[in-house]
Chain A
Amino acid sequence: MKALDIALKDLTQSFRNLSVLAFIFLVPVLVTGMFYLMFGGLGGDDDEGFALPRTEVQIVNLDAGGLPADAGFLASVPQGSDLRGIHSMGEVLAQFLQGEGFAEVMAVTAAPDAASARTAVDSQEAAVAIVIPQNFTAALIDPTERAVVELYQDPTLTLGPSVVKGIVSQFVDGFSGSKVAIGANVEQLNDAGLAMDAAQLQVLVAQYLASAAGQGRQQIGGESRLLAVVSPTGEGDASPLVGAVGLIMAGMTIFYGFFTGPSSVQSILSEDEKGTLARLFTTPTPQSTILGGKFLATALTVLIQFIALLVFGSLVFGIEWGNPIAVGLVTLGIVAASPAFGIFLMSLIKRARQAGVVLGGVVTLTGILGLASIFAANRSPAAKLVSLFVPQGWALRGLELAMNGGGAGDVLPAVVALLAWSAVFFVIGVTRCRKRFA
């Protein structure tokens, strides 16, 4: 009961302090809002939140082809295949990029030649020029032939060209796979004494093409999907940019949540210096109850902050945080980890004057480590791995899994990791505090 009294007293003090309120609620919202505005989220005509600016792409198809146009070949192509009427891999790629599925993220127009396409990029009329080489199809048939698709981009732009590069890479990877598979088939048949003639080889190529074209449609979602955001647990339907703002908001919530814990726990140092802690120790209140009350106050502050920011993100930015139970579990982990982290850090500090620098420095550094993967190029796996060395990284992992459709079972490892961090921090911190105030 006394622990609750101490917690309520601390909460009253915190929530009467305007600078504390601003730091807990306003700053994370402002930072996320800044990113939201940077992406033009408020400039859209609809209510979907983010709208990725369409990337102007000029495509030049120099592919000379190499597929037969006779009836025999066409007869070998599966019914309903997109290959009917198409005679080169260059056409497949061009059609793939010009498909409706990508219409929202890029506007593809055909350029007469490579030079004019590059000129369009140089003059910033287009962001990217794609040049499909003359031997693109031939390279598929002939294992010794090497073809290179050129991506010429405006160096001042990053987001749009990255998206285009990702899409083209996806196609080219499939192309390379087909090329390897065809080569392996031909070699195996040769080894078995069943040499293929040119016509048989063309039919085989056509079948691979049909398969590749079909996969391309699947990859782009066929109907309305642009890019399927595939999570380790399943697929999500959110737009990638709504997802990006969600991730940034999640990052800010975690970053400032882990600031709030140590900042609130700092009140122990402040009370120590003002004499109220010593006075508390003269009352018949056990030291563990006093520390427990401080922990509870911090945990409640983080909980209130977290819930407020999640609700705000959902209402204002349209962020879907995912399964409520999964989000609740991750929140529980953060609410335990942040104060424990604070008690641990506080136990290393002697005076409140040092607290600003030390707490600020450590929390910022661990925050950067834990959340860098949000901003790392292509969500770098290395950055994700490094993030797991700090609790903020596990918090982000848990929240990201929930946002991508993960359930309670999926986020459980991250929650367990957060609770383990909490236990370690709490035990070390409390042990040090007990010695200090003994």
Chain B
Amino acid sequence: MSNGKAIQALDLHKSYDEIQAVRGVSFDVRQGEVFALLGPNGAGKSTIISMLCCLLQPSQGEAFVMGHSILKEPSEVKAAIGVIPQEVALYEDLSARENLIFWGKMYGLRGPALKQRVDEILELIGLRARQKGRVGKFSGGMKRRLNIGIGLLHRPQVVIMDEPTVGIDPQSRRNILDNVKELRGEGMTVLYTTHYMEEAQELADHIASMDMGEIIAQGTCDDLIKIVGECDRVDLTISASADRVLETWKATPGVYQVMPEDGKLGLLVDDSNLVLPKLFESASGAGVRITWVDIQEPNLEAVFLHLTGRALRD
């Protein structure tokens, strides 16, 4: 029985020779919620997804999807999930409708039920008018929508979405996020991986923040933000090399973290109103001019920075 848990991961490990991609990951996803696995590239999110989809066998540990063991009941697990892979996985020589029909058959749909569901999905993803068009001629956004539609064909109990918004335009991204919200509204369970903090913050009921194959924190968005307390995130751009102020700023009272990134400096500070004047003063003393400042309320980015000393986008 699933005991209200759509997914239960228990001490999952996955190793490739010397590399430990996943190290003792455990989490529960409740039925009907959106659960986000948040972490930078290489954190182990996709490896966990592959194990939950029965594509990879864990080196150690076990997981259950809708109460079915991924080790002992892979067929039942596969029937319960709808997978939306990171890369668009479609047949470009076939039309959108032909793709949906084929994948529907692979999920066991046949006859009038398949036809009706294909029509519904085409409506849902907004491709009814282009249903006969060859997928190879579709835009990236249209392919992404179709990619999602295929994962929803058989009305899965659990939808697994692996970084579905990577490399697409803002409008398509917005559509995908809205789709996820609709799915939650319909009572579907969604496991969503991303390295975009804003997406996790907007969509997820629960978040597991991952780094280096481990879950470093998990809970609701508010739970996680409480980890960094009332810290502010301050991003600065300076006129000279960061080396000239780095050590001074690290030693400044009220500054918890200083991290150079993409020509900027990211700081985690106690109270930006009190700390910023000190930063300006020390920069001036070092002959460095601060050219841009951005202050953010505590968020998941700050949590990740606080826990790992690195930015989420690394």
Contact = CB atoms under 8 A, between A and B. Distances in A.
Given A16-B93, A276-B90, A276-B91, A282 B53 contact: yes
Contact of B85 (A12, A17, A278, A285): A278
B94 A284 contact: no
A285 B89 contact: no
Contacts of A17: 93
A284 B75 contact: yes
Contacts of A283: 78, 103, 106-107
Contacts of B55: 278, 281-282
A13 B98 CA distance: 11
Contact of B79 (A12, A276, A284): A284
A281 B77 CA distance: 12
Nearest to B56: A438
A226 B6 CA distance: 83
Contacts of A274: 87, 89
Interface string A132-148: 00000000000000000
Nearest to A275: B89
Nearest to A276: B89
A16 B135 CA distance: 13
Interface residues on A, range: 20 to 34
A279 interface: yes
A163 to B, nearest CB: 51
B170 interface: no
A376 interface: no
A187 interface: no
Q: Is the interface of A mostly helix, strand, loop or mixed?
A: helix
Contacts of A438: 57
A284 B107 contact: yes
Interface residues of B, number: 25
Interface string A256-276: 000000000000000000111
B10 interface: no
A279 B93 contact: no
Contact of B88 (A2, A9, A12, A275): A275
B130 to A, nearest CB: 18
Contacts of B78: 282-284
A279 B83 contact: yes
Nearest to A290: B106
A24 to B, nearest CB: 16
In order of increasing CB-CB distance, the 10 nearest A-B pairs are A275-B89, A283-B106, A279-B89, A284-B78, A282-B83, A284-B79, A13-B93, A282-B53, A5-B105, A275-B87
25 contacts: A5-B102, A5-B106, A9-B98, A9-B102, A12-B94, A13-B94, A275-B85, A275-B87, A276-B90, A278-B55, A278-B89, A279-B85, A279-B103, A279-B150, A282-B78, A282-B85, A283-B103, A283-B106, A284-B75, A284-B79, A284-B106, A284-B108, A285-B106, A286-B75, A438-B57
Interface of B: 53-55, 57, 75, 78-79, 81, 83, 85, 87-91, 93-94, 98, 102-103, 105-108, 150
Interface of A: 2, 5, 9, 12-13, 16-17, 274-276, 278-286, 438
